[in-house]
């Protein structure tokens, strides 16, 4: 019997290893039963239902709720979210402030050598003065070449802390450690943070109160605060925002116009990119979002357009001529392939070069100091160009690039490509052409109005069909956020959840390629990720994740009822039997809840 099982591996795997993740295509015209509509809508338009959402939508009426989600400004935001976001101050700073307050190592060195000013904020000023001092001491000992800032002070902790305090920091419970840090006078705390070795910092990090955590990061490497704030901000919003569709769409569009956080200056440019170039337009106009991304320093840096200059620049002489390297096709290619027309959208290599010529001179003022978009006419290719059959006359200057954005944002291939991607995210991997065509038509007729495109989708029979229901496997972010929402957990350390999402295979803001993460589940359904999902589920419900608190009392009682309370529908007979059989001897409510969160049903939305 068992032998047969293993023999079967090959056969079954042959069918499933390249999972056909498509929904049953024959049921796109079969209407979803009425009593499943709310759950379906919550699964698609939010990061997963919370315990009271079903009742809330029922009370409001599904149609009205959807309409509200399409107008996020009309939704009163959750005060809990505002409180969680308040300490993440970098999220509201402009690029120049971000660079000054959370400088990269090069800028700390510049400060130390008097080539850059200190920030105005007294707390950051103090920390940076300290780091600069640390660096200067090192220079005097080792010579100037080594641009590394020593990671920690050489002050023994015993000079700062009592034996008892050291014991708690090393061996105390998380609560004891947090309490010790919380009650420490500010000056002493800062000294202790300066003196903590890297290992010690890591050990305390998850348990420290949020403001102490930020101090630790600021002291260790100021720039890390930015990634920390971005990750926490994204997760708090996904978990707590009432404007759920707005968050889901911000995630979708950031991924569509993906930028890798760890590429050089993008470490601090992504904050404003998401906030100013993506978020305002997700239910607005596509052409405007496209231009915002095209002009954003984050994109100009990520796809190298800031360095793309007319090949003639060197011949023209003058400033910059010596370093001029000519055309860089990177942005032009991805603009056509990934942002607008799609890979089969009908462009040629010649079009790529012509588009690249149009965007020469679109650059960044001082990318490492946080200035903004700049058009440099001196390096722009002013000749005539032909893009997708449209002639752009010579001498257009910055208008050339804008003209390209006009052409591609009104192109039928773009309408089709955007519609297809939206259906992959919101309907199914293989939504019928009828739906894609209808959405593409709206896109063209309504001049790229994305709210209208969403409306077309949400009014379609395909969206409300049997085939769309539970057709998608949750992405890593969706899995983690939906589990937290379903269990009603209180999160005070969202950064920890971000590392879990990375374990599941899709670290936030860390997709290196401009493609963004795939909308197809084939990318994240694999053995390592599946185990990571199950382990995350068990850790969450048993309160083993630092800074995430679940009230496990509510999982007491009949396992079938517990499953229903987390899945918002009945668990399958197979899952219920597995839990009943497996947990017959020792019924631990938190474990049962973890098993439900790790079940096949919970992986679907």
Partner 1 sequence: MFDRRVFLKSSALAMFGIGSAPHWLARAAEGVERRKKILVAIFQRGAADGLNVVVPYGDPSYYTLRPNIAIPKNDVIELDGFFGLHPSLQALKPIFDAKQLAIVEAVGSPDPTRSHFDAQDYMESGTPGRKATLDGWLNRALPSEKAPISPIRAVSLGANLSRTLRGTNPAIAVSNLNEFQIRDTQSSNTFEGMYEGTLDKVLKGTGRETFDAVKILQSVQKEKYTPAGSAQYPNGRFGQSMMQIARLIKADAGMEVAFADLGGWDTHVNEVGAKPTQGQLANLLTEFGNSLGAFYRDLGDRMQDVIVVTMSEFGRTAKENGNRGTDHGHANCMFVMGGGVNGGKVYGKWPGLDKEQLYEGRDLNLTTDFREVLGDLVTRHLGTRNLARVFPNFEAPASMMQIVA
Q: According to CB under 8 A, which residues from 319 to 358 bind partner 1? A: 322-325, 328-330, 333-334, 337, 343
What's the rounded Cα separation, in Å, for the pair 221 and 224? 6
Work out whether the CA dihedral 241, 242, 246, 249 comes out positive or negative.
positive
Name which of 438, 431, 419, 428 is nearest 469 in CA terms: 428
572 near partner 1 (CB under 8 A): yes
The secondary structure element, H or E, covering residue 386 is strand 385-387
Q: Please report how close the Cβ of residue 391 comes to partner 1 at its closest, in angstroms.
A: 27
Q: Which of 137, 434, 499, 515 binds partner 1 (CB under 8 A)?
A: 515
**Residue placing its CB nearer to partner 1 in the complex, 78 or 376:** 376
530 near partner 1 (CB under 8 A): yes
575 near partner 1 (CB under 8 A): yes
2 near partner 1 (CB under 8 A): yes
CB atoms within 10 A of CB 331: 25
Q: Which stretch binds partner 1 (CB under 8 A): 17-25, 123-131, 134-142, 404-412?
A: 17-25
595 near partner 1 (CB under 8 A): yes
Q: Please report how close the Cβ of residue 470 comes to partner 1 at its closest, in angstroms.
A: 9
Q: Please report how close the Cβ of residue 144 comes to partner 1 at its closest, in angstroms.
A: 11
197 near partner 1 (CB under 8 A): no
Q: Please report how close the Cβ of residue 168 comes to partner 1 at its closest, in angstroms.
A: 27
What is the rounded end-to-end Cα distance, in angstroms, of the chain? 34
Contact positions with partner 1 (CB under 8 A) in 251-280 = 264
Q: Which stretch binds partner 1 (CB under 8 A): 151-159, 230-238, 403-411, 517-525?
A: 517-525
DSSP-based three-state secondary structure for 373 = strand
Q: Which of 512, 551, 557, 570 binds partner 1 (CB under 8 A)?
A: 512
163 near partner 1 (CB under 8 A): no
458 near partner 1 (CB under 8 A): no
Q: Please report how close the Cβ of residue 540 comes to partner 1 at its closest, in angstroms.
A: 13
577 near partner 1 (CB under 8 A): yes
- The answer for residues whose C-beta is within 8 angstroms of residue 286's C-beta and 6 or more apart is 409, 414, 418, 443, 448, 449, 450
Structure tokens at 119: 């920030």
Helix ranges (DSSP H) in 277-392: 286-295, 297-302, 313-316, 330-334, 349-358
Q: Which of 285, 535, 552, 565 binds partner 1 (CB under 8 A)?
A: 535
Contact positions with partner 1 (CB under 8 A) in 103-122 = none
Structure tokens at 336: 């056509």
CB atoms within 10 A of CB 317: 9
Q: Considering CB under 8 A, how many residues would be counted as binding partner 1?
A: 74
What's the rounded Cα separation, in Å, for the pair 550 and 511? 30
What's the rounded Cα separation, in Å, for the pair 206 and 194? 17
Q: Which of 285, 521, 552, 565 binds partner 1 (CB under 8 A)?
A: 521
Q: Which stretch binds partner 1 (CB under 8 A): 121-129, 356-364, 436-444, 496-504?
A: 496-504
603 near partner 1 (CB under 8 A): yes
What's the rounded Cα separation, in Å, for the pair 192 and 165? 11
In this structure, are strands 490-491 and 385-387 parallel, antiparallel, or unpaired?
Answer: unpaired
User: What's the chain's length in residues?
Assistant: 605
- The answer for residues whose C-beta is within 8 angstroms of residue 470's C-beta and 6 or more apart is 43, 601, 604, 605
546 near partner 1 (CB under 8 A): no
Q: Which stretch binds partner 1 (CB under 8 A): 182-190, 244-252, 277-285, 528-536?
A: 528-536
527 near partner 1 (CB under 8 A): yes
């Amino acid at each position: 019997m068992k032998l047969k099982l293993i023999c079967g591996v090959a056969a079954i795997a042959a069918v499933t290893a390249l999972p056909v993740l498509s929904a049953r295509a024959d049921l796109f015209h079969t209407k979803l039963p009425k009593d499943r509509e709310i759950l379906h809508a919550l699964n698609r338009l939010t990061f997963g239902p919370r315990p009271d959402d079903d009742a809330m939508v029922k009370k409001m009426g599904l149609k009205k709720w959807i309409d509200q989600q399409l107008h996020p400004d009309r939704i009163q935001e959750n005060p809990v979210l505002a409180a969680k976001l308040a300490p993440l101050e970098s999220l509201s700073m402009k690029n120049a402030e971000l660079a000054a307050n959370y400088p990269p190592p090069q800028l700390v060195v510049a400060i130390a050598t008097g080539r850059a000013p200190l920030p105005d904020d007294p707390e950051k000023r103090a920390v940076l003065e300290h780091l600069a001092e640390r660096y200067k001491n090192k220079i005097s000992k080792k010579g100037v070449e080594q641009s590394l800032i020593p990671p920690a002070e050489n002050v023994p902790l015993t000079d700062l802390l009592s034996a008892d305090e050291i014991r708690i920091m090393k061996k105390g419970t998380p609560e004891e450690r947090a309490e010790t840090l919380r009650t420490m006078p500010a000056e002493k705390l800062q000294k202790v943070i300066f003196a903590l070795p890297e290992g010690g910092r890591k050990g305390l990090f998850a348990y420290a109160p949020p403001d102490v955590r930020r101090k630790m990061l600021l002291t260790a490497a100021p720039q890390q605060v930015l990634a920390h704030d971005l990750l926490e901000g994204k997760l708090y919003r996904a978990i707590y925002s009432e404007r759920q569709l707005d968050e889901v769409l911000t995630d979708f569009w950031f991924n569509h116009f993906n930028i890798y956080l760890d590429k050089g200056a993008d470490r601090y440019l992504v904050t404003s990119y998401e906030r100013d170039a993506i978020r305002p337009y997700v239910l607005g106009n596509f052409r405007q979002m496209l231009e915002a991304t095209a002009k954003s320093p984050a994109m100009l840096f990520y796809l190298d357009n800031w360095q793309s200059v007319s090949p003639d620049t060197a011949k023209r002489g003058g400033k910059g001529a010596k370093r001029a390297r000519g055309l860089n096709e990177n942005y032009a290619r991805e603009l056509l392939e990934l942002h607008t027309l799609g890979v089969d959208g009908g462009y040629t290599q010649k079009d790529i070069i012509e588009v690249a010529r149009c965007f020469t001179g679109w650059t960044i003022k001082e990318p490492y100091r946080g200035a903004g978009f700049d058009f440099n006419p001196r390096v722009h290719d002013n000749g005539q160009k032909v893009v997708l059959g449209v002639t752009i006359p010579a001498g257009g200057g910055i208008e050339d690039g804008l003209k390209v954005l006009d052409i591609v944002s009104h192109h039928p291939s773009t309408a089709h490509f955007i519609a297809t991607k939206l259906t992959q995210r919101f309907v199914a991997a293989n939504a019928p052409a009828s739906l894609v065509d209808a959405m593409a038509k709206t896109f063209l007729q309504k001049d790229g109005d994305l709210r209208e495109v969403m409306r077309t989708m949400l009014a379609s029979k395909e969206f409300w069909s049997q085939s769309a229901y539970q057709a998608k496997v949750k992405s890593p972010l969706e899995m983690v956020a939906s589990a937290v929402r379903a269990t009603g957990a209180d999160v005070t350390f969202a950064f920890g959840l971000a590392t879990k999402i990375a374990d599941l295979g899709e670290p936030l803001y860390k997709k290196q390629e401009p493609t963004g993460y795939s909308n197809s589940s084939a990318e994240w359904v694999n053995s390592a990720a599946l185990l990571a999902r199950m382990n995350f589920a068990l850790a969450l419900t048993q309160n083993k994740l630092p800074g995430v608190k679940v009230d496990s009392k509510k999982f007491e009682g009949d396992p079938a009822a517990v499953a229903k309370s987390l899945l918002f529908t009945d668990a399958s007979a197979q899952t219920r039997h597995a839990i009943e059989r497996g947990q017959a001897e020792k019924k631990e409510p938190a474990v049962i809840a973890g098993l439900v969160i790790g079940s096949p049903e919970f992986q679907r939305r």
